Amino acid sequence: MGGKRKSVSHQREAPGASNGKVEKVTVARVARMKAKQTRITMLTAYDYTTARIVDGAGVDTILVGDSLGMVMLGYENTLPVTMDEMVHHTRAVTRAVKRAMVIADMPFMSYQASLPEALANAGRLIKEGRAEAIKLEGGAAVVDQVRAISAAGIPVMAHLGLTPQAIHQMSGYRVQGKSEDAAREMLAEALALEAAGAFSIVLECIPHTLARDITARLRIPTIGIGAGPDCDGQVLVLQDMLGLYQEIAPRHVKRYANLHEAATKAIGEFNEEVRSGAFPTMDQSFTMDAALAQRLHEEFVSE
Ligand code: KIV
């Protein structure tokens, strides 16, 4: 299983542009960040406007997650998401992003059935979506896919722990890796995914001590969500952390804003102002030559 590595304390500096130019975040840069113990940030984005905001705010990596099925498309879970939907949203995000590395999720059943299908679908996210890497869920069952996709030149982010595409097999969204057997299996799977070529692994909803130890044993960076503070980076769903999607409130989410409330207030004001006639005013209106306007008015409505 390879040599044990010591736990390390992470630095707080943010990677920035040293010479005023935008330095694209790459696989090599993400690897250097782990080596230098600089924490990696990741947020989801699914459309042009929010991707501009996330990239402009300096987030290192952007995940076009299949969580878009729930927060953008209103599905009950991520299972119905299609390749066409992923490509569509990934294209919108990559049109916006200048600095962050864009990683696109492979949706349920786009990689499990066969290696040729997995390769073709990963290729679509790169060729059509213009993503720079793909993410897929699972451990031992997807090691061959990770090896084949990486060998084709496509960086692969793996995903262990709570893997939402296995919701039915897990009997719901539950913390994973709590028993000794499950913890040992997860470490073994993480090492196997690293050996197969994954450049990074998401660890979702596992005990923070297990995430700390897996992080210490891997050369590649771990990105945690509900996996405690000792991962090499952290990811949240944008709509969760901005308080836009409030249908579920998982314990691991920290809400940094309440945009649902702010948006509801703004929309309420719009409703009131339109109904009262306070909006629009002349400030939001356009003019034409006054004499022409008068002549047309007489002809159109005054006769
Ligand atoms: O789809 C998604 O947004 C994800 C993250 C929660 C890691 O997989």
Domain at 184, CATH number: 3.20.20.60
Atom of ligand 1 nearest to the CA of 135: 8
261 Cα–ligand 1 center, Å: 24
Q: Which residues constitute the domain of residue 152?
A: 27-257
Atom of ligand 1 nearest to the CA of 237: 3
Same domain? 124 vs 33? yes
204 Cα–ligand 1 center, Å: 9
Question: Does residue 246 sit within a domain?
Answer: yes
Question: Does residue 6 sit within a domain?
Answer: no
Same domain? 266 vs 253? no
* CB-based contact 85:107 (threshold 8 Å): yes
Same domain? 73 vs 139? yes
Same domain? 36 vs 109? yes
Same domain? 128 vs 219? yes
Same domain? 62 vs 77? yes
10 Cα–ligand 1 center, Å: 23
Radius of gyration of the chain (CA): 23
At 118 the pLDDT is: 98
Query: Which positions of the chain have pLDDT values less than 70?
Result: 1-20, 303
Atom of ligand 1 nearest to the CA of 42: 7
User: Ligand 1, from 73, 225, 231: best to mutate by most atoms within 8 Å of Cβ?
Assistant: 225
Same domain? 222 vs 269? no
At 8 the pLDDT is: 52
Question: Does residue 21 sit within a domain?
Answer: no
At 2 the pLDDT is: 40
105 Cα–ligand 1 center, Å: 8
Measured between alpha carbons, how far is residue 81 from residues 152, 218, 235 in Å? Answer: 24, 31, 20
At 266 the pLDDT is: 98
Give the residues surrounding ligand 1 with Cβ less than 6 Å away.
Answer: 44, 63, 65-67, 105, 202, 204, 225, 235, 237
Query: Closest residue (by CA) to atom 3 of ligand 1?
Result: 65
Instruction: Please tell me the total count of domains within the chain.
Output: 2
Atom of ligand 1 nearest to the CA of 204: 7
Question: Does residue 7 sit within a domain?
Answer: no
At 11 the pLDDT is: 57
Residues 6+ apart with CB under 8 A from 34: 40, 219, 220, 221, 232
Catalytic residue among 137, 189, 194, 204: 204
At 248 the pLDDT is: 80
Query: Closest residue (by CA) to atom 8 of ligand 1?
Result: 65
Q: C-alpha dihedral over 76, 201, 41, 232, to 10 degrees? A: 140
89 Cα–ligand 1 center, Å: 14
Q: Amino acid identity of 169?
A: Q
Same domain? 90 vs 51? yes
Active site residue 13: no
